[in-house]
Structure formats: C-alpha cells, structure tokens
A and B are shown apart, each in its own frame.
Chain A
Amino acid sequence: MQELLQQLVNGISWGSIYSLIALGYTMVYGILRFINFAHGDVYMVGAFVAYYSVFFLGLRSGGVAGALGALAVIALAMLAAAVLGVSIERLAYKPVRRQARLTALITAIGVSLFLENAGILAFGAEPKFFPQIIASKSLRLPGGAYVTTHQLLVLGGSLVLMVGLNLIVYRTKIGLGMRALSLNRDVANLMGVPTDRIIAFTFGLGSALAAAAGVLVALSNPRIDPLMGLLPGLKAFVAAVLGGIGSIPGAMVGGLLMGIAETLVSGYISSTYRDAIAFSILIVILLVRPAGLFGRAVTEKV
C-alpha cells in the first residue's frame, strides 16, 4: 500500500509537469487547429534561462531567500519564453497560417530542430546541473509515503498556474476572445475580435506555462541539457490528445493520467517501458476515442 501511495505521489508530481506543457499544446490547437511541435523546446529554453538567471542574480540557496529567488527565476523564465513564443509565432507560423496544414506542421518541426541545435550551439551538449536554490526536505505523508519539498513545489506551482490560466480564459476579455477564436476564427474576425493579437497572446501564454514547467523540473531534477524538451514535449502532446486536444480541463487531466500511468508502469512492470507506455496510450486513444476524454467529436463537412 505504501509503495502504491509513493508511486502515486511520484506520478502526480510528473503528471502536473505534463499538464503544464500540455496546456500550451491544447490552447494553440484549440485556436489554430495546429500542433506546435516546438513547444517542448520552449520548456527547455525556460530551464536554461532560469539556469543562467540564477548565476546572473547571484542567488543563494535555502530558506526564504531561496524561495524568493526561485519565484524570481520562474518569472524571468516565463517572461523570456513568452517573448520567444510570440516571436516564433510572428516569424515562423504567421506567414504560413493561411496555407495548407502540412506546411505549418513542417514549419513547426523545423522550429523545433532549430531551437534544439541552437541550444546545443549556445549552451553546449554537455548536461548542466541546476543549483539547488530550494533545499530538498522529505515530509512523511500519512500512509508511509514521502513527498519532497520539490514535489510539493511542482504540484503547488502547477496548481497556481492552472488556476491562473482558468481565470484568464474564463474571466477576462482576452480569454473571451480566445474562446471565440476557438469556435470559429473567421466569424470571430468578422465580429471584431483582434485575431492576430489574441493568437500572439495565446502563444505567449502557452510558452510561459511550458517555461514554468521547465524551471519547476530543473529545481527538482537538476540535470538540464538542450535536448531535454524532446521526450517531455512528446509525452505532453500525448497527454493533450488523451484529454481531448483543444480542451483545457482535458489537458490538465490528461497530463496527470499520463504521469501516473508512466510511474506505475515504471515501478511495477519495468522501467524500460516508461516511454513505451506514453506512446501506447496514444495509439489506444486514437483507436478507441480519438476525440479524447473531454473532447467533442467534431464532424467536418467536406
């Protein structure tokens, strides 16, 4: 029982990371019907911006100073990633928006490769180790499982960000615009919704979330390298599909389910299948319920 509880704690911790990244995928798809494959690499950029910020700001570890430092670094990373996201959208995706979907898809893959290799060039291929600015303490949960301060940070941080996202999407004007665009872009345009601005905002928001995920991961799993976004990005994409791509609650639930499934398989069956389970889920969900758990099956009139 204790083992199961511990694995669940581990799984939920990773799951919230996948949720944060999946939100970016799902929002962009909801509005543009387009999968931004470069999203996983924004997660990597966030981690690296945070890494260099720690040194730039001369942060110290532990205690309140550490916590404030972590917040500052997350904020910086989110800002940098938002700028990156908007730039990518303007430079790479906007010009191909009106063209065939395939063109945009290939462009996204190209941007992903560009970011990864630019990362290798700029940061070096060797992995770097994020300094532990927040001390790691283990707290015992009822039931015998242990949760570390890092895992709590990841959970807490993800929750705050997801609540914040919900507020933005459902309580603000720009959120209204995002929802309008996701229903019908052309009509929204005709109704006076500033399409370009909202699209840019969506990209920025999604990228900020991915960067936050990157920093949260770096704080607890300190090994960062330019290719770290590849696998989490793919898994988060699967999580988004699992939850129903285009649906925000779907992304949140999908991410959690993905994290839990991965950890349970890794712990009870074999660690070698950890990555395999993610892609098996993708295949199964596309066969059984392609719209995902929360998605609506949309029929397109041809």
Chain B
Amino acid sequence: MSRRMVQLPATWVCVALMATLGCGQETLSIRIGEFSALTGDKATFGQSTTRGLGLAIDEANAAGGVGGVMLRLISEDDQGKPEEAATAVNKLVTQDQVITVLGEVASSNSLAGAPICQDNKVPMITPSSTNPAVTEVGDYIFRVCFIDPFQGVVMARFAAEHLGLTRVGILRDVKSDYSVGLATFFAREFTRLGGTIVGDESYQQGDVDFKAPLTALITRQPEGLFVPGYYTEVGLIARQARELQYKGPLMGGDGWDSPKLAEIGAEAIEGAYFSNHYSIDDPAPEVQNFVQRYKQKYGGSPDAFAATAYDAAALLVEKLRAMQQEDTQLFAALVGGIPGDAGGREQRRQALARLRDLLAGTRDFRGVTGLITLDAQRNAQKPAVVLQVSAGQYRFVTRISA
C-alpha cells in the first residue's frame, strides 16, 4: 500500500478519536445540567430559573469552586413542552453527562424529565414544580418547594378566612398537571371549610378565548374565581372576565408569578391574589441581600422562580462541598464526564448515590425562600405567602404555614 493511502485515513481516524475522547475531558469541571422553558408560553419561568441558578453557580465559582473545581452549568431549552423536556433531559444525562439535573418549573415538564433521571440514577432537583407526583417518580428526585396539596389548602384557607368567600368558581387548565392538581386540592379544602364550589370549568394552554367557560361560571354567581393556571392565559382570562362584567376577586397559585402577568392582565388583574414561594417585600436580610445581588447582576427584580432556583443550586453546592470534605476520592468521581472504564463508572455511580443521600438528609438549609428541610418524600416543608397584584407590583398580604 502506498504511504499516502495509509496516511490520509489514519489522520482522520486520529482526529475523530481525539474529538470524541476530547469531548469528555475539556477543562475539568463539575457539570450541572438544567432544563427550562427559555422560549414559548412560559418563557419567563425558564429565564428566571436560569438566572437564579446562574447567580448561585457564579457565586460558588467566584469563591473558588468546590474543592478547587469549577462548576459548569449546561442549559437546555425545552420550549415549555413535555416532549421537548424529555429530549432535553436525555441529552443532559447521556451526552453532557451531568451529575445533577436542575429543573423544571412546570410540573408537566418535570414529570417528563424525572423518569429519565431516575433510570440513570442521576439526582434531579426541581426548584418549583409543585405537583406531588414529581417526587413520587423515585428516590433520586427532589424538590425545594412546597407541594400542591399544601398550596391548595393555603388558597382555600385564604379564600374562606381572609376574604370570607363561601361560593367560588374554578377555571382550570386541563393540559397542565399543575393546574388540575391544584384545582382539586383547593376544591377539597374549600368544601371542607364549609364553602361551595359553584362551578368547575376548563380551558387549554394556548387558548385565547375564554368567554364560553367564563360565561358558564359567572352565571352561577360565584363570589370569587380560582384560576390556578399559568400567567399568559390568566392575564387574558382576567381581561375577559372583567369584560363580561364579573366584579369578584380572582385567585390563583404560583403559576401566576411573572412580570408579564401584570403586563397582560393590565387593570383587569389589579387586586387579584395568588400564593407564592417568597415575597420580594420580605424584610429578612437573606432575602434583601439576594434581591440586591440579583439586581446587580441582571438588572431586574427576582421573582419566586429565580429565588427557588437560587436555593436549589445553593443547596446542591453545599452538598457537593460536604461530599468533597468527607471523601475527596469519591468526590473526584463527579468531576468531568462519565469515565470510559467499568471501575470508573462504578465509582461514579457510588458518588452519585452518596450525593443523593446527602441531598435527602437536608435539614434546616437556610435558603432565600426560607428554611428548607426535606421530608421522607423529598419535598420541602415551607410556609407559603399570599401576594396581591397592586399597581403592577406583587405586594405581600400574609404568610400561611401548615
């Protein structure tokens, strides 16, 4: 064979080998993955989450990383759709070989990504998905926020005791696990407290016209409307409800939290109430400190999703530090990608299992959104705040604990 015939393909093979091997070993760092809705109907959720996570990770890196190793955040956009969420998580776990997945905000998307993390034994921390089913997927799935059975109770109690309502109509988003779950929990508690649910209508995410279900509800003369959906539709629903001359209060859950809600809802959403994970008005020093640092870095004010994301990332960093201190060798298995040899892979598996155990044992972690303790189902026990939309701002009304 002539020299040329061997040289050219050999070069290409070497380059290819270097590319594939090199991919796993750029600058050695700890890879943390996140999937969120950076585009689409719930885009503010993803943008806030990424910023909150980014702030925590940047702060950790500025302090020298964990054990001298830098943290690298790899973001994937799932466009707010469960199918894309599954694809995004798959890529993070198998191609990017992350050690933990952070995400998502919307429960439907978390539910799509959680099984993949559980199957691959990679811990997943959702900062703000509140549907209980998410952590039920498996013991590698965690959340740093409260769950909807609690959130439903919060708003039911608020409606019955604080607002003194006895008749409420519900308008739920059937395409969203979060909305359906929250509506059910609200209805259950509200009836238990002696109230009546006068009507339960539904719509779908992406709809623009809600006059038909709204008319059906308003005819039954509810004293208040509970709309546990996401901000885009809620804003439009508020407008159309007011156009139909409905004057009663509107209530909702944390899916409302977005600067776009006041923008879309305008005067119609003024005075409406919703439950949330934290209030920017909270005078506690950690909160105000966080708000300052966030504003300095990004310009805008952090919403609940930025705050919970910050907490999720900060918690992960704390556990990584703990792991590095207790067993440097095991910790080293988390750096970089998945090793090629069987022994390395086993080390990695053990390291991830240890990380999982550390996360499960979280007690009294001081987060921006409050003290976080994870219970046996890996959910956080935290109080909720109720906010009111007032002149485009979300003002604190009251705090409700379990």
Flag whether A124 is at the interface (Cβ < 8 A): yes
How far apart are the CA atoms of A266 and B40 in the complex, in Å? 25
Contact between chains at B215 and A7 (CB < 8 Å) = yes
Flag whether B216 is at the interface (Cβ < 8 A): yes
Known: A7-B215, A138-B243, A222-B236. 6 other contacts (CB 8 A): A3-B215, A6-B244, A14-B209, A271-B203, A271-B207, A271-B212
Q: For chain B, residues 200 to 252, give those with C-beta under 8 angstroms from any C-beta of chain A.
A: 201-204, 207-209, 211-213, 215-216, 219, 232, 236, 239, 243-245
Binary flags per residue of B147-180, CB closer than 8 Å to A gives 1, else 0: 0000000000000000000000000001000000
Can you identify 7 A-B contacts, CB atoms within 8 angstroms? A2-B219, A7-B215, A221-B236, A222-B264, A263-B211, A270-B202, A271-B213
Partner of B232, one of A138, A223, A262: A223
- With a cutoff of 8 Å between Cβ atoms, the chain A residues found around residue B244 in the complex are 6, 138, 146
Tally of A-B residue pairs with Cβ under 8 A? 74
Q: For chain A, residues 1 to 56, give those with C-beta under 8 angstroms from any C-beta of chain B.
A: 2-3, 6-7, 10, 14
- With a cutoff of 8 Å between Cβ atoms, the chain A residues found around residue B43 in the complex are 126
Contact between chains at B209 and A127 (CB < 8 Å) = no
* A interface residue numbers (CB < 8 A to B): 2-3, 6-7, 10, 14, 124-127, 129, 132, 136, 138, 140, 146, 148, 150, 217, 221-223, 228, 262-263, 266-268, 270-272, 274
How far apart are the CA atoms of A138 and B245 in the complex, in Å? 7
Contact between chains at B39 and A124 (CB < 8 Å) = yes
How far apart are the CA atoms of A16 and B174 in the complex, in Å? 27
Partner of A10, one of B40, B212, B266: B212
- With a cutoff of 8 Å between Cβ atoms, the chain B residues found around residue A274 in the complex are 212
Contact between chains at B245 and A271 (CB < 8 Å) = no
Binary flags per residue of B25-49, CB closer than 8 Å to A gives 1, else 0: 0000000000000011101000000
| Closest chain B residue, CB of each to CB of A140 | B245
- With a cutoff of 8 Å between Cβ atoms, the chain B residues found around residue A222 in the complex are 236, 264
Q: What are the nearest 5 A-B pairs in CB distance?
A: A266-B212, A267-B212, A221-B208, A3-B219, A10-B211
How far apart are the CA atoms of A228 and B209 in the complex, in Å? 12
Question: Do A266 and B245 contact each other (CB < 8 Å), given the known contacts A126-B40, A223-B232, A272-B202?
Answer: no
Partner of B213, one of A138, A262, A266: A266
Contact between chains at B209 and A136 (CB < 8 Å) = no
Contact between chains at B212 and A7 (CB < 8 Å) = yes
Partner of A271, one of B39, B40, B202, B236: B202
Question: Do A3 and B216 contact each other (CB < 8 Å), given the known contacts A127-B232, A221-B208?
Answer: yes
Flag whether B282 is at the interface (Cβ < 8 A): no
How far apart are the CA atoms of A163 and B40 in the complex, in Å? 39
- With a cutoff of 8 Å between Cβ atoms, the chain B residues found around residue A136 in the complex are 239, 243
| Closest chain A residue, CB of each to CB of B174 | A272
- With a cutoff of 8 Å between Cβ atoms, the chain A residues found around residue B208 in the complex are 217, 221, 223, 228
